[in-house]
Amino acid sequence: MKNILVLCTGNSCRSQLAEGYLRHFANGKANVYSAGIETHGVNPRAVATMAADGIDISGHTSNHVEEYRGIAFDYVITVCDHAQENCPFFPTNAARIHHNFPDPAKAVGTEEEITAAFQQVRDQIRQFSQRFVAEHLGK
């Protein structure tokens, strides 16, 4: 079984979305974790945005990357430039994959505009996650 770590700055939004989709698409073929180089709590809009697509991440927690030091990861996926640049060294042979997604938590505007920003990033992460699973874990 493969071990996948999704890393972001605060483990509140983008990494949570990716963890939810990777778990969904991997369908038991991998252990998927997410963490941040800081912890900011799970963003309620991320939970709502995923629920609107049928994925429940309401039980997720915001975890610090240091909590997973003892796990031999096969893949470390960074989903923001800040995490990639500041990712602590892991003594592992994990393949590192980076994809910078916009931070929907920084969206401003009306409620509809903010919701649309979350949905747009969610959809980008869904596509990335589907491709990742197909390429690295098989269909």
Q: Which residues are tagged catalytic?
A: 8, 80, 87
| Cα 2 to Cα 32: distance, rounded to the nearest angstrom | 8
Largest CA distance in the chain: 45
Residue given tokens 């939970």 in the structure block: 47
Considering only CA atoms, give the Rg of the chain: 14
- Count Cβ atoms below 10 Å from residue 62 Cβ, excluding itself: 20
Q: Phi and psi dihedrals of 62, rounded to 5?
A: -90, 115
Residue length of the chain: 139
